[in-house]
Amino acid sequence: MQQVNLGMIGGGTVGGGVFKALRHNGALLASRIGVRLELRKIAVKAFDEPRSVPIPEALLTTDWRTVVLDPQVQLVAELAGGTTVAREIILTALRAGKPVVTANKALLSAHGEELFAAASAAGTNLYYEASVAGGIPIIKALREGFVGNRIERLYGIVNGTCNYILTRMKREGAEFADMLAEAQRLGYAEAEPSLDIDGHDSLHKIGILASLAHGFWVSPRHIHVEGIRGLSQWDIQFAAQLGYTIKLLGVVKRLDGLARPAARGSGPLVQVAVYPALIPNTHVLASVNDAFNAVFVRGDVVGDTLFYGRGAGQDPTASAVLSDLADAALDLKHGTPSRVPPFVPHERAGAALPIAQAVSRYYVRLSVVDRPGVLAQIAAILGRAKIGISSVFQPEGHEGESVPLILMIHDAPNAAMAKALGQMGRLRVVKAPPVMLRVEQLE
């Protein structure tokens, strides 16, 4: 049986999971692909750092260059994380003609275009299934399964921490701060949780998916991002009463017929964003709960598809890394190092739509003085902006200096809505900053 020698960078959560999985299922993997993966060396920061999976010290080194540049190492797995040293590691391996497997979403988001170009120039490949949605094979689906489709819509629940918090808020009627503390206690959220709850982790992932789906690199600078930090239990309850569930969504929409930003390509115009949104309870994404992830993809040929599973954690991520290792080993075995290129620019470069031009339906919650004429003042602002009200909902049972007023708004440009909300917030009858969430019908 042919053997491929593997060098690994990183022995922490993901690296330890891959080491464990290779020990348990390496023989199974070899029997299925006809190639045996031999782990030669693992580069770590320090020999004595704590690890969830014990690794024999004979396999360890603190010098990643001795792993990457070892002439016996044919395949490199970068599982260390970060965007500085990891970038150097991957570029060094690619320039040496060695295929690389990575789980590094932040690095791909920041430097993916450069890394893919380096892989192409070296005639080798970069595999990155584990960078998005853990064990869900969404990268392979977009690269291979949907190769004959134009992707019209992609919606992703791609951050398990946020989904866990929102699920608990809806299920138990709890406030955001309490559920964040519980997620931290259980290990779903970091002690410093801003990467997750402010939407930046989702931004990294949805940017990768958008770039892969539409064939032009979407810079993180062109992705609008909002997190869930400002959500109230009121919003969860009122959305439920209206037939919706709130999820943090990564959104990728192909838009045809809209004016294109100047000097931003001639291909498809695509909205790419991350924000909490109301989605109908009747849609399957509304039932994705706890720390699970799901990605909904609509292709022009295949129609609607859904990918569901655990989006993070040692074992799901290790499973995705093993899948890439198997592909890389097979490509090496058959002498086809770039059989499926990691990223292929399409025939015409596209552009990301600025959020100000994006059109959506909206949920708006106002805290207002409970007296006649309030709704007329608010409706007048929306009327002057040519924004239509779909419905008005004022829940009973709220007393005090201010009461909630819920508006459901017809399709309107984001810029117009933002301006109107600013005007509402300056009304004397409005007692708190307005809350606006987008409504995604997923039609």
Which residue, among 149, 206, 348, has the nearest Cα to 268 in the 3D structure?
A: 348
Q: Which domain holds residue 378?
A: 358-439
The pLDDT tens digits of the residues spanning 19-64 come to 999 999 999 999 999 999 999 999 999 988 888 899 999 999 999 9
Tell me the three state secondary structure of residue 217. coil
Let me know whether 155 and 265 are in one domain.
yes
Let me know whether 102 and 203 are in one domain.
no
Check residue 283 and give its pLDDT: 96
Let me know whether 40 and 64 are in one domain.
yes
Task: Give a yes or no: residue 80 inside a domain.
Answer: yes
Cα–Cα distance, 293 to 217 (Å, whole number): 24
Q: The domain that contains 111 carries what CATH number? A: 3.40.50.720
Provide, rounded to the nearest whole percent, the portion of the chain with pLDDT above 70. Answer: 95
Which residue, among 232, 224, 193, 190, has the nearest Cα to 206 in the 3D structure?
A: 224
Cα–Cα distance, 88 to 84 (Å, whole number): 7
Check residue 263 and give its pLDDT: 44
Mean pLDDT of 295-301: 96
Residue-wise DSSP of 395-424: -SS--SS-EEEEEEEEEEEHHHHHHHHHHH
Which residue, among 373, 386, 362, has the nearest Cα to 428 in the 3D structure?
A: 373
Let me know whether 385 and 303 are in one domain.
no
205 is catalytic: yes
Which residue, among 83, 290, 284, has the nearest Cα to 167 in the 3D structure?
A: 290
Task: Give a yes or no: residue 353 inside a domain.
Answer: no
Mean pLDDT of 193-201: 95
Let me know whether 236 and 105 are in one domain.
no
Place 347 in a pLDDT band, splitting at 50, 70 and 90: low
The set of residues, in sequence order, having a beta carbon less than 8 Å from that of 244 and lying 6+ positions away, is: 278, 279, 280, 281, 286, 363, 439
Structure tokens at 443: 């039609």
- For the chain, the first-to-last Cα distance in angstroms comes to 50
Domain count, the chain: 3
Cα–Cα distance, 368 to 395 (Å, whole number): 12
Residues pairing with 245 in the sheet: 279
Task: Give a yes or no: residue 403 inside a domain.
Answer: yes
Check residue 50 and give its pLDDT: 86
Let me know whether 292 and 157 are in one domain.
yes
Tell me the three state secondary structure of residue 203. helix
Which residue, among 202, 302, 200, 309, has the nearest Cα to 252 in the 3D structure?
A: 202
Cα–Cα distance, 374 to 362 (Å, whole number): 20
Let me know whether 328 and 411 are in one domain.
no
Residue 175 in contact with residue 233, Cβ under 8 Å?
yes
Let me know whether 155 and 127 are in one domain.
no
Residue-wise DSSP of 308-368: EEE-SSHHHHHHHHHHHHHHHHHHHHTT-TTSS-S----SS--EEPPGGG-EEEEEEEEEE
Q: The domain that contains 246 carries what CATH number? A: 3.30.360.10
Mean pLDDT of 360-387: 94
Cα–Cα distance, 41 to 55 (Å, whole number): 11
Let me know whether 8 and 113 are in one domain.
yes
Let me know whether 59 and 152 are in one domain.
no
Q: The domain that contains 371 carries what CATH number? A: 3.30.70.260
| CB burial of residue 5 (10 Å; 0-12, 13-18, 19+) | middle
- Lowest pLDDT segment from 41-50, 239-248, 255-264: 255-264
Cα–Cα distance, 395 to 414 (Å, whole number): 26
Q: Residue 258: is its pLDDT beyond 60?
A: no
Place 398 in a pLDDT band, splitting at 50, 70 and 90: low
Let me know whether 70 and 157 are in one domain.
no
Place 442 in a pLDDT band, splitting at 50, 70 and 90: confident
Task: Give a yes or no: residue 343 inside a domain.
Answer: no
Let me know whether 289 and 321 are in one domain.
no
pTM confidence score: 0.92
Cα→Cα distances 250→120, 273, 342, Å: 28, 6, 21
The set of residues, in sequence order, having a beta carbon less than 8 Å from that of 383 and lying 6+ positions away, is: none
Structural domain ending residue among the three candidates 311, 346, 372: 311
Q: Which listed residue (205, 247, 333, 386) is catalytic?
A: 205
**Strands ordered across the beta sheet of 35-43:** 60-61, 35-43, 2-9, 75-78, 100-102, 126-127
Number of C-alpha atoms within 13 angstroms, CB side, residue 110? Answer: 12
